[in-house]
A = this chain, B = another copy of it.
């Protein structure tokens, strides 16, 4: 069995799955150091707690060693070691004996999914909490419970990873993903692993017009932090941007538009998705939810759209223990990877093509066209003829592709042929 990119990505996700990540802490560092085994060029950065970042401040660093609930008989009925979702993210330490009634004040369940442990956090208000299935909670007997969390919340730093792959010019394509979720697979180990393989693909390209910037951030506070440091640079350089999240299941493809809705990122994503999976789900920015909230915020205005397989919030396993390694697959990851590669190819070819002569060129004398003219004899060369008919140096590649109903992927070999024969010129514009 061939070792596909999909299988390789899946294996990396398997290795990262057990780690307890949050928006700060050693889980993030361990995750990034494993990803660096694939991408040694990835650099790690630390920003101290308390640093002001726009309207926010870097929070204290959170680390956790253990957490559990014991019943009166001293049996662990809930254990962080079994599933790190059991402890609410950023829980402060506790070691108390409580009645069932009091315990319930600290227990979180997903009422509509009786078998799922929900993913719950409280980053900016100090509290503690335990997450369990609704079934388990409903069956808790009257008892005295020992609740214990061995965690720390103290001055430290926020950690993120960054990789810049230099192209022929300073203009950049931004790829952002997040590494702050504990043991969930689609949301979110799929994004980091697909981003890693995409970065490898970029590095393997012989010609690379654009530079590419890959960011591994904790969600929300991470992108706000990064933007507070790099905003002016990004505003100058970023020509297109993509947030990769929930890219591991194999059920569908989804896309969330930028706030403006018609940037190069949007147009590239829609063009590729239409040809790859015509029934893909197209969401407006109203359905945003991840770091595109920051990248596309007023005044930030970076053209970042979101690529998903099943969109966050739209699949039942979302933000629960059901979002595990069985939800994602090598095929799911590979599909997202191939989509991003197509987008990368499209952007490399993106620009303005102009036919080099007035009126139609004589394709026949170049062997590009049948020399006998009869009904239907030109059907095979229709894409080339249509491309030439619209290659006016003013209609960009994506617009031509949309007008003539031929995906950029189909047009690339036609463009290569026409450039080889000197029939068209190219300006990136």
Contact = CB atoms under 8 A, between A and B. Distances in A.
Where chain A touches its partner, the secondary structure class is loop
Interface stretch (A40-48, A114-122, A263-271): A114-122
B259 A121 contact: no
A108 interface: yes
Given A286-B386, A389-B285, A55 B359 contact: yes
Contact of A293 (B129, B389, B391): B389
A359 B392 contact: no
A353 to B, nearest CB: 10
A124 B364 contact: yes
Nearest to A291: B359
B227 A359 contact: yes
A300 interface: yes
Interface of A: 54-56, 88, 108, 110, 118-125, 127, 129, 220, 223-224, 227-228, 231, 259, 285-286, 288, 293-294, 296-301, 313, 318-320, 354-355, 357-362, 364-365, 371-375, 386, 389-393, 403-405
Contacts of A390: 259, 298
A189 to B, nearest CB: 19
Contacts of A55: 357-362
A398 B421 CA distance: 44
Contact of A372 (B122, B293, B373): B122
A124 B365 contact: yes
A374 B118 contact: yes
Contacts of A293: 360, 389
Given A122-B371, A358-B231, A373-B121, A393 B110 contact: no
B108 A374 contact: yes
A137 to B, nearest CB: 14
Contact of A120 (B108, B127, B320, B374): B374
A297 B362 contact: no
Given A54-B359, A286-B404, A299-B358, A125 B259 contact: no
A220 B359 CA distance: 9
A319 to B, nearest CB: 5
A294 B54 contact: no
Given A55-B360, A319-B374, A319-B375, 4 more contacts: A54-B357, A88-B372, A124-B364, A259-B392
- State the oligomeric state as a number of copies: 3
Contacts of A124: 362, 364-365, 371
28 contacts: A54-B358, A55-B359, A55-B360, A55-B362, A56-B359, A119-B374, A120-B374, A121-B372, A121-B373, A122-B371, A123-B373, A124-B362, A129-B372, A224-B359, A227-B358, A228-B359, A288-B389, A293-B360, A294-B359, A296-B389, A297-B355, A297-B359, A298-B355, A299-B355, A299-B358, A300-B358, A313-B375, A318-B375
B359 A391 contact: no
A218 to B, nearest CB: 13
Given A357-B55, A358-B227, A364-B124, A298 B374 contact: no
Contacts of A123: 373
A377 B405 CA distance: 42
Contacts of A359: 54-56, 223-224, 227-228, 294, 297, 300
A276 B299 CA distance: 33
A375 B403 CA distance: 41
A118 B376 CA distance: 12
A118 B371 CA distance: 16
A21 to B, nearest CB: 15
Nearest to A261: B403
A55 B368 CA distance: 14
Nearest to A386: B286
A375 B299 contact: no
A299 B388 CA distance: 12
A31 B357 CA distance: 32
Contacts of A354: 298
Contact of A298 (B54, B371, B391): B391
